[in-house]
Amino acid sequence: MDKTERFFELKELWKKSDEAHRVEIDKEISELLESMDTEDDERLLEGVKQDFANIHNKLEDVRQEVLRDKMKEVLPAISVSYIARKYFGKSSSWFYQRLNGNKVNGKEATFTPNELSTLSAALNDIGKKLSAMSAVL
């Protein structure tokens, strides 16, 4: 096992350990890092970059799941077709592809940060219209 693999093995052990064992693992990680030469450092840096990319991808997946869960309560009460057409200039299929993370052209479709801002503004706008109507009644 090379030093980079050992580092990530220790990282996983550290995440699963209690505080007492973490101190021991921290010491082993420190010793491992001290023993690394320039090549080891470069391999570790590449491994850490890949690890961050994986974390970022997992975070994005979680964000999409949270969005889907939150939208489940609202979707039956609003017209997705109206939102897609009025605020995005798109079809309801386009909207659902992004909401559900469907594959489009071989890639998982998701809302971009700009599209999420547009969706937020759309829901706020609809909410204001509903509140205004409610006040009139």
What's the pLDDT band for 71 if we cut at 50, 70, 90?
Answer: confident
Measured between alpha carbons, how far is 27 from 90 in angstroms, rounded to an integer? 55
If you count them, how many residues does the chain have? 137
Q: What is the 3-state secondary structure (H, E, C) of 15-33?
A: HHCCHHHHHHHHHHHHHHH
- CA end-to-end span of the chain, whole Å? 72
What's the pLDDT band for 99 if we cut at 50, 70, 90?
Answer: very high
- Give the pLDDT confidence of 35-70 residue by residue, as tens digits: 999 999 999 999 999 999 999 888 888 888 888 888
